[in-house]
Amino acid sequence: MQSQEILDKLKCKNLLEAILLTPKGYNNTHLIENLEHLPTFGVVQTQILSTHRTPKTLQISAFLPDFHTPLKITIFYPKKFHTSLFPLNSTLYLQGKIQKGFELEMIHPKVVKHFGEIIPIFEKKRGIDLLELLQELITEEALLSTPIPKEFIPHILNIFHPTIGFYEEYMFYKNFPPNTLKALKFVEIFLYLQSMQKKKRFFSSKFSCKGDLKGFITSLPFALTHGQNQALQDIQNDFNSSSASKRLIMGDVGSGKTIVILGSVILAYPHKSILMAPTTILATQLYEEALKFLPAYIKVGLFLGDSKSKKQNYEDFDFIIGTQALIHREEDLRDFALVMSDEQHRFGTQQRYFLEKLASNEGKKPHILQFSATPIPRTMAMLQSDLISHTFIKDTPYKKDITTSILYKQDFPSLLAHIKQEIEQDHQVIIVYPLVEESQNFSYTSLKKGEEYWRKHFEGVYCTNGGDKDKDKVLQEFKERGKILLATTLIEVGISLPRLSTIVIVGAERMGLATLHQLRGRVSRNGLKGYCFLFTYSDNNQRLKDFTQTKNGFEIAELDLKYRKSGDLLEGDRQSGNEFRFFDVSEDEEIVKKAKETLELSKNPKKQVIINSL
């Protein structure tokens, strides 16, 4: 059969896809060589001497010529055909387990035609014989004509044409052995990268932008951090280009992303920019910072869902800031060069792309910048790099000094003492509860119950479940004169609370590490000594212990992956790479690199010739 014909039958686009139809196991039909270690599994030559039916069994007396020893065969609840499977005086090859009873015995052996082979077993697929098709398709010659690096080829051949050595390794690992897995990971990731490249399309940018960044930077009351400078440099290069750029800028809470947003507005000027934030309070905060740091000639407009906003028009402003209400307005975004979203992970894909679409014009696209405090792991970034560029801001303007510790029930009095002490110094405290209302099968105090307690013992206690209508007002009042804020995990990430020194997270073991890190990032934003207390009933929780030792958001992202893999995750909003069968986002960076190089080479055969001839 022609390869193409086989591929069509398998419904695979190419040989690499067919490789991923791996067998689910192997059938060892090698002849048993000795009976020293029983029970043993395999194939034996057997002579059938006599058969005897009882109501519930078929008993067969047989002889093993290779071992000069009798064998008893038992079939329970035999059907008619069983008798004909074992004709008297015939010599058969039987596969199964030989064990020692009174004499040697086999229960329900299989009569096999082939022996001396390792036969891959496949999932039944629409009645087609995968074994035959795949063995014909996947040959050394065929593999050599693919971009798969030579070193992987013997390992792929092993999967479909297994040797006894491979089989033994397979049994030892109860899975494909490491070298084979590596080859499979390569194939999987290569295909993935290839499909990403097909999705990639270049769009012309509406405007190439060269605003006066230097002037803006010198006007600031502080020097930019290395990370901020680097991010603005990347953005400047993007904007200079005639193709529309798309970049995700990741930096921990407090790394100063707002300044990068404002710098981008400057770079885009005299063209217009638009920024979407997840909540009213964040949009308002960004607006205030824009007024504070941007030069007066840039007109900034705040658009919320309120009646005041409805009276304003985009055309009167150079920089529009707003909430999701932005996407519901029927405004003309044709002269907008830049579309941004802050805390981008809070938006759905739909929402994010809506503004982008609105701002596209005659096949040309605006530049897109997304800002996020939740870093994705490096491997993930490498995988996505064809669709979106990445910048990591790794430093913060203030050294964050946050002590993280785990608290148990018996530590409550010392927590109280700490809170009193902080409040005396005019610092603020947030307590995050896992649930709003009491629940039967849940042992932690709820927000409601907690509220009763704190209000009774303290002044300046504010409370929001994150879903209430007046939550913005509550936050604003707390910011100005509150002492203790009781909240759920829904509480805003981006809001600036310079006096906040302490966060207590109740039931911390129930949360993803990324969420814990976001919550912790709320304190010590402006250099105040900070405290993060993880309150838990679960003692000896290694994940929480690791968390107390890790401050860096990127390390947290890696840690999170590690624990996700071990299934210790209860929530999370980040892509975790679960779509891969073999490839592991948390440890296979080298393989991505290799697949990327190979993909480049396969697109550029000239380069390949040069490399081969070296």
Closest-CB residue for ligand ADP? 256
Minimal distance in Å, beta carbon 399 to Mg ion?
A: 19
**Could you say whether residue 278 binds ligand ADP (CB under 6 A)?**
no
Contact partner at residue 345 from Mg ion, ligand ADP, none, CB < 5 to 8 Å by partner kind: none
d(CA 364, CA 208): 11
Site pattern 41..60 for Mg ion (x: CB under 5 A): --------------------
Q: Does 536 bind ligand ADP (CB under 6 A)?
A: no
With CA atoms as reference, report the closest residue to 270 among 216, 321, 336: 336
CA-to-CA distance for 161 and 118, rounded, in angstroms?
8
Binding flags for Mg ion, 201-240, as an x/- string (CB under 5 A): ----------------------------------------
Strand partners, 598: none
Strand partners, 40: 98
Which residue from 244, 253, 355, 475 is in contact with ligand ADP, where contact means CB under 6 A? 253
Q: Does 494 bind Mg ion (CB under 5 A)?
A: yes
Q: Choose from Mg ion, ligand ADP, none: what does 323 bind? Cβ within 5-8 Å by kind.
A: none
Q: How far, CA to CA in Å, does 607 sit from each of 600, 602, 613, 614?
A: 9, 9, 10, 11
Q: Does residue number 225 form part of the binding site for ligand ADP (CB under 6 A)?
A: yes
The gap from C-alpha 238 to its chain's centroid, in whole angstroms, comes to: 27
CA dihedral of 502, 508, 511, 517, whole degrees rounded to 10: 30
The piece of 178-186, 238-246, 255-263, 483-491 that touches ligand ADP (CB under 6 A) is 255-263
Closest distance of CB 230 from ligand ADP, Å: 12
Closer to ligand ADP by Cβ: residue 21 or 523: 523
Q: Hey, how many other C-beta atoms are within 10 angstroms of the C-beta on 191?
A: 17
Residue pair 322/279 in contact (Cβ under 8 Å)? The answer is no
Q: Given the complex with ligand ADP, which of 228 and 586 has the nearer CB atom?
A: 228
In the three-class reduction of DSSP (H, G, I as helix; E, B as strand; rest coil), residue 69 is classed as strand
Identity of the residue, 300 or 382, whose beta carbon is nearer to ligand ADP in the bound complex: 300
- Of Mg ion, ligand ADP, none, which one does residue 351 interact with (CB within 5 to 8 Å by kind)? none
Of these, 397, 507, 512, 553, which contacts ligand ADP (CB under 6 A)? 397
Among positions 158, 194, 258, 372, the unique one binding ligand ADP when judged by CB under 6 A: 258
Using the minimum distance from each CB to ligand ADP, give the nearer residue, 427 or 543. 427
Q: What is the DSSP string of 376-437?
A: PPHHHHHHHTTT-EEEEE---SS---EEEEEE-GGGHHHHHHHHHHHHHTT-EEEEEES-SS
Rounded distance between C-alpha atoms, residue 474 and residue 465, angstroms = 10
**How far from each other are the two terminal CA atoms of the chain, in whole angstroms?**
37
**Cα–Cα distance, 408 to 504 (Å, whole number):** 12
The per-type count for the chain, helices as H runs and strands as E runs, is 23, 21
Instruction: Work out how close the CB of 267 gets to ligand ADP at its nearest, in angstroms, rounded to a whole number.
Output: 17
Q: Which is nearer to ligand ADP, 228 or 264 (CB)?
A: 228
Question: Contact at 8 Å (CB) between 283 and 322?
Answer: yes
What is the CA angle 580-583-584, rounded to 5? 100
Q: What is the DSSP string of 463-520?
A: E--SSSTTHHHHHHHHHHH-SEEEEETTS-SS---TTEEEEEEETGGGS-HHHHHHHH
Choosing among Mg ion, ligand ADP, none, which partner's interface includes residue 434 (Cβ < 5 to 8 Å by kind)?
A: none
Note whether 521 binds Mg ion by CB under 5 A. no
Cβ proximity to ligand ADP: between 121 and 291 the closer is 291
- Counting contacts by CB under 6 A, is residue 120 touching ligand ADP? no
Q: How far is the CB of 342 from ligand ADP (least distance, A)?
A: 7
Nearer to Mg ion, 120 or 494 (CB): 494
What's 344's DSSP letter?
Answer: G
Amino acid at 488: T
Any contact of residue 255 with ligand ADP (CB under 6 A)?
yes
CB of 488 to Mg ion, least distance (A): 20
> 108: which 2 tokens?
């329900």
Complex with ligand ADP: residue 225 or 488, whichever CB lies closer: 225
Site membership for Mg ion, residue 512 (CB under 5 A): no
Contact flag: residue 222 with ligand ADP (CB under 6 A): yes
Question: Closer to ligand ADP at the Cβ: 71 or 491?
Answer: 491
Query: Which two structure tokens, joined as six digits, stand for 170?
Result: 């397979």
Give the H/E segment covering residue 461.
Answer: strand 461-463
Spell out, one character per residue from 241 to 280, where the chain touches Mg ion: x when CB under 5 A holds, - when not.
Answer: ----------------x-----------------------
Q: For residues 355 and 558, give the distance between their C-alpha atoms in angstroms, rounded to a whole number.
A: 31
Give me the residues that bind ligand ADP (CB under 6 A), please.
222, 224-225, 228, 251, 253-259, 373, 397, 494, 496, 525-526
Give me the residues that bind Mg ion (CB under 5 A), please.
257, 494
